[in-house]
Amino acid sequence: MTSLFGSTLVTSLAITWQDTLYTLSLHQWAWLFTASALTMALALTPSTLIALISGYFLGWPAFFYILISYPAASALGYLVGKSLDHGQLMKTLPPNSRIHLTLDAVKHHQWPLVILTRISPVLPFSLMNLVLPAIGVRLATFLVAGFIGMLPRTLFALWAGMQARNLIVLLKNPTQGNLYVIVMALASMLAIGGLMYLVRKASSTIIMKQHDRIRTYD
């Protein structure tokens, strides 16, 4: 809900002040990206929307700001997620439940897990900021693997923003191009397929451990 409100607000401001945005200096854009890091971390604005707008106004130079603002947003989101959870997610699950055991097994594959969750345009940036720290993903892995995962769709969103000829059309209908839809669909399929593989692998590990325990008792 907050993300929808933030998206609507940012979209309205970008359309209303687009003439002013064209005249901003790089220093002034740096302050805007600093603010965007905070709003992304707090789930107020989607990261893809920021990439679309910055691509439209700045082109490829916007990537320099994204190199800083996205990891900053991830770090803030990680800290917020840690402070809100305090390890409670795993504690609330029964230790021997399938969900607890699966999450515990999946976290041993932190790099592919974080990359796949960030590639997916379906899984919200802010939601993963809460879930991934809660299951024990390390901060360094969260930042580096997360940025690698976000890089493909971020670059594509930048490119899509650069190709747009009208800001209103871009922000009100960012999926108007068939290529955009295809890329987002492929990213979703890749992420879902990869996550299903990790879950199956984790389930196989759990079953093997359970069999070993049974044999030990026998």
What's the confidence (pLDDT) of residue 5?
64
In angstroms, how far is CA 212 from the centroid of its own chain?
Answer: 37
pTM over 0.85: no
Helix 139-163 / helix 178-217 crossing angle, nearest 10 deg: 160
| pLDDT bracket for residue 62 (50, 70, 90) | very high
Does the pLDDT value for residue 33 go beyond 90? yes
Q: Residue type for 45, please?
A: T
Cβ atoms within 10 A of the Cβ of 30, count? Answer: 14
pLDDT of residue 166: 83
Which amino acid is located at 102 in the chain? T
Q: Domain range spanning residue 51?
A: 2-217
- Position 145 scores a pLDDT of 93
Judge whether 142 and 74 are in contact, CB under 8 Å: yes
Predicted pLDDT at 139: 92
Tokens representing residue 94 in the block: 């029964």
pLDDT band at 165 (very low <50, low <70, confident <90, very high): confident
Mean pLDDT on 105-134 = 83
Instruction: Tell me the average pLDDT across 170-175.
Output: 70
Report pLDDT digits (tens) over 82-93.
887 666 666 666
Average pLDDT over residues 113-126: 83
Q: What is the pLDDT of residue 212?
A: 52
**Whole-number mean pLDDT of the chain?**
81
Q: How many domains does one find in the chain?
A: 1
Q: Which contacts (CB < 8 Å, 24+ apart) does range 102-108 have?
A: 102/199, 102/202, 102/203, 102/206, 103/135, 104/135, 105/201, 105/202, 105/203, 105/205, 105/206, 106/135, 106/198, 106/199, 106/202, 107/135, 107/136, 107/137
- pLDDT, greater one: 175 or 84: 84
pLDDT of residue 213: 54
Task: Indicate the residue type of 155.
Answer: L
